Amino acid sequence: MPASLLPDVHIPAVSVYESVFGGLSDEDLGSVAIIDGGSGAETTFGELRAHVDAIAGALAARGVVLGDVIGLLCPNIPAFASVFHGILRAGATVTTINSLYTAEEIGAQLKDSGAAWIFTVSPLLAGAAAAATAAGIPAERVVVLDGAEGHPSLRDLLTAGEPAPEISFDPATQIAVLPYSSGTTGRPKGVMLTHTNLVANVAQGIGAIGVEKGERVLAVLPFFHIYGLTVLLNYALTLRAVLVTMPRFDLVEFLRITSEHRCNWLFIAPPIAVALAKHPVVNAYDLSSVKVVFSGAAPLNGALAEAVATRLGCIVAQGYGMTEASPATHVIPLARPDIDRSSVGFALPNTESRVIDPETGLDVVVPDAGQSEPGELLVRGPQVMAGYLGRPDETAATIDADGWLHTGDLATLDAEGIYRIVDRLKELIKYKGYQVAPAVLEAILLQHSGIADAAVVGADDEDGQEIPKAFVVLQPGVELGADEVIAFVAGRVAPHEKVRVVEFIDVIPKSTAGKILRRELRGR
Ligand code: AYL
């Protein structure tokens, strides 16, 4: 059953700027687009668009041209929106960088993407500057939004007084963003998402769940990740909702901001659902404004979803997707409260979807009642990436000749057209909804002189959330504790990539071709 059951929507052939800001009415211009959750400072749509135009003008005047790549390393603050859209407006491509990354990780992304500039904030400048130096980016192209000696600031760009350039390009082929994802295997790769990919995913989302004009949307999920980027920065702003930004997750601050700013939509990842369902402090806040809690990025347990819905008296919905699909491909539509919350609902409008037997490549048989056998989920649609930057082989291994994106996730399908994600074929681990690439951690573990071999897989913590677990084979005669292994890795990676549990074993199970048998390790 490949075609979506939801009616197709029109996908405009326009740039992201045109799609988000093109149709602003006079009334929209004066209404609030973003509230800084910490300070309460407000930015109207008119101010936001003026900032976007000014940044585009300043960049063009400084030599930025169509197709240049610019790094953006910044937590969720209102200026992120101005900078992100300003760069796109100048015809350049944004490579969004995880703000928890180490200097080495930032440098690797800047180099791989060929970034010519980076935008950051002063608390992240040390890492950004080291990375920029490693990537050959001079200080005058390291913009520090809140200002720093020797660097341009946001104020400098906003007051440059240069008009936005007249840039024309084909939105179907022009790359808008280059987020990094490890996909089904290996290290993070640049995911080439075109303007049309992003515009399509917003239109498809509107065809399934509708945030209404003026509703308040809590923006705690990072804008640098494709979830925050598409659902918050593009989808919510296109619908003229109000983004309430939070630079980092802290439960009490999350509850305070939700309650004080009367937020209506909470877009979250499953670990926040655990806190909303279980933590006693939730009772101390008035969360009556919350209409929908929408979870994505990792599996949501059905009982957990029910517990959140009951405690908050709201709708809980779930979406599924991946960076390579801009990201959304499946969703539980708002109008279907009857659908099991542990499912990911239907394929989005304009999205074809299949479940195939990974051995035979044939579509699974969908029974009249109950679920099909699990198989690999394939999707095809206008939101699927153009490919991985500079990696034709990895692209071909992920998107087949007929345009189907092989997700590396195992799903079931029922006769009603509802999909359930039941497991993962690929090696990727999700920690709090963030990607953790086992290949990166395994390479670090092997740098330790006492470690002979290592494999990293996902394990469950006591709340049923996934955590990275390392299986380690020691060199003969070496004594090493789990804590030492954990500390060794922690000193070399971003906080979300830490190994959380270590098990020592005699040998890492491998196939005859030398591939780690991850399922076997996960099953232990
Ligand atoms: P990436 N259930 C189970 N696994 C999921 C789910 C889900 N609802 N969503 C994402 N994943 C896993 O690139 C799955 O393994 O994008 C998938 O291949 O960081 C991988 O995470 C992709 O991870 C939305 C809002 C999707 C958010 C998202 C999350 C995109 C995460 C649709 O509407």
CA dihedral 457, 458, 461, 464 (to 10 degrees): -160
User: Among 234, 398, 409, which is best to mutate for testing ligand 1, by the most ligand atoms less than 8 A from CB?
Assistant: 409
Closest approach atom of ligand 1 to CA 408: 18
Cα–Cα dist 392/203, whole Å = 29
Task: Please tell me whether residues 411 and 282 are part of one structural domain.
Answer: yes
Rounded to the nearest angstrom, the distance between the alpha carbon of 433 and the centre of ligand 1 is 8
What CATH number has the domain bearing residue 103? Answer: 3.40.50.980
Rounded to the nearest angstrom, the distance between the alpha carbon of 358 and the centre of ligand 1 is 20
Q: Which residue in this structure is represented by tokens 């009415």?
A: 25
| HEC profile of 396-436 | HHHECCCCCEEEEEEEEEECCCCEEEEEECCCCEEECCEEE
Task: Please tell me whether residues 282 and 178 are part of one structural domain.
Answer: no
Closest approach atom of ligand 1 to CA 267: 25
7, part of any domain: no
Task: Please tell me whether residues 167 and 209 are part of one structural domain.
Answer: no
392, part of any domain: no
- Cβ–ligand 1 distance for 421 under 6 Å, the answer yes
- Cβ–ligand 1 distance for 174 under 6 Å, the answer no
CA dihedral 222, 225, 231, 234 (to 10 degrees): 100
395, part of any domain: no
Rounded to the nearest angstrom, the distance between the alpha carbon of 294 and the centre of ligand 1 is 12
Task: Please tell me whether residues 206 and 329 are part of one structural domain.
Answer: yes
Cα–Cα dist 366/414, whole Å = 6
Task: Please tell me whether residues 409 and 495 are part of one structural domain.
Answer: no
- Cβ–ligand 1 distance for 247 under 6 Å, the answer no
Nearest CA to ligand 1 atom 20: 322
305, part of any domain: yes
CB atoms inside a 10 Å sphere around CB 30: 11
- Please name which of 83, 88, 86, 142 lies closest in space to residue 110, comparing C-alpha atoms: 142
For the chain, the maximum distance between any two Cα atoms, rounded to a whole number of angstroms, is 74
- Please name which of 138, 140, 128, 54 lies closest in space to residue 95, comparing C-alpha atoms: 128
Cα–Cα dist 40/131, whole Å = 33
- Cβ–ligand 1 distance for 152 under 6 Å, the answer no
Can you give the pLDDT of all 524 residues of the chain as single tens digits?
588 889 999 999 999 999 999 999 999 999 999 999 999 999 999 999 999 999 999 999 999 999 999 999 999 999 999 999 999 999 999 999 999 999 999 999 999 999 999 999 999 999 999 999 999 999 999 999 999 999 999 999 999 999 999 999 999 999 999 999 999 999 999 999 999 999 999 999 998 999 999 999 999 999 999 999 999 999 999 999 999 999 999 999 999 999 999 999 999 999 999 999 999 999 999 999 999 999 999 999 999 999 999 999 999 999 999 999 999 999 999 999 899 999 999 999 999 999 999 999 999 999 999 999 999 999 999 999 999 999 999 999 999 999 999 999 999 999 999 999 999 999 999 999 999 999 999 999 999 999 999 999 999 999 999 999 999 999 999 999 999 999 999 999 999 999 999 999 999 999 998 999 999 999 88
Task: Please tell me whether residues 228 and 248 are part of one structural domain.
Answer: yes
Amino acid at 288: S
Among residues 175, 194, 213, the one where a domain terminates is 194
What CATH number has the domain bearing residue 320? Answer: 3.40.50.12780
Task: Please tell me whether residues 120 and 175 are part of one structural domain.
Answer: yes
Rounded to the nearest angstrom, the distance between the alpha carbon of 322 and the centre of ligand 1 is 5
In this structure, are residues 473 and 505 in contact, taking their beta carbons and an 8 Å threshold?
A: yes
Task: Please tell me whether residues 172 and 210 are part of one structural domain.
Answer: no
Cα–Cα dist 271/513, whole Å = 37
What CATH number has the domain bearing residue 472? Answer: 3.30.300.30
- Cβ–ligand 1 distance for 344 under 6 Å, the answer yes
Task: Please tell me whether residues 244 and 361 are part of one structural domain.
Answer: yes
Among residues 194, 217, 242, the one where a domain terminates is 194
385, part of any domain: no
CA dihedral 41, 43, 47, 48 (to 10 degrees): 120
User: Among 428, 430, 432, 518, which is best to mutate for testing ligand 1, by the most ligand atoms less than 8 A from CB?
Assistant: 430
492, part of any domain: yes
Tokens of 16: 């992201």
376, part of any domain: no
Nearest CA to ligand 1 atom 23: 322
Against a cut of 0.90, is the pTM above it? yes
Task: Please tell me whether residues 247 and 144 are part of one structural domain.
Answer: no
Nearest CA to ligand 1 atom 8: 320
Task: Please tell me whether residues 122 and 256 are part of one structural domain.
Answer: no
Task: Please tell me whether residues 78 and 88 are part of one structural domain.
Answer: yes
**Residue 489 CB-density burial (10 A; 0-12 exposed, 13-18 middle, 19+ buried):** buried
Rounded to the nearest angstrom, the distance between the alpha carbon of 30 and the centre of ligand 1 is 35
Amino acid at 354: R
- Please name which of 165, 162, 155 lies closest in space to residue 58, comparing C-alpha atoms: 162
Rounded to the nearest angstrom, the distance between the alpha carbon of 324 and the centre of ligand 1 is 10
Residue 293 CB partners (closer than 8 Å, separation 6+) = 266, 268, 273, 276, 308, 309, 312, 314, 315, 316, 317
100, part of any domain: yes
The ipTM assigned to this model is: 0.99
Domain of 21 in residue numbering reads as 16-194
**Count of domains for the chain:** 3
Rounded to the nearest angstrom, the distance between the alpha carbon of 479 and the centre of ligand 1 is 39
Among residues 395, 425, 455, the one where a domain terminates is 425
Rounded to the nearest angstrom, the distance between the alpha carbon of 233 and the centre of ligand 1 is 18
CA distance to 105, 431, 471, 491, per residue, from 487 (Å): 18, 18, 15, 6
Nearest CA to ligand 1 atom 15: 409
Cα–Cα dist 58/246, whole Å = 27
- Cβ–ligand 1 distance for 179 under 6 Å, the answer no
- Please name which of 116, 146, 147, 148 lies closest in space to residue 132, comparing C-alpha atoms: 116
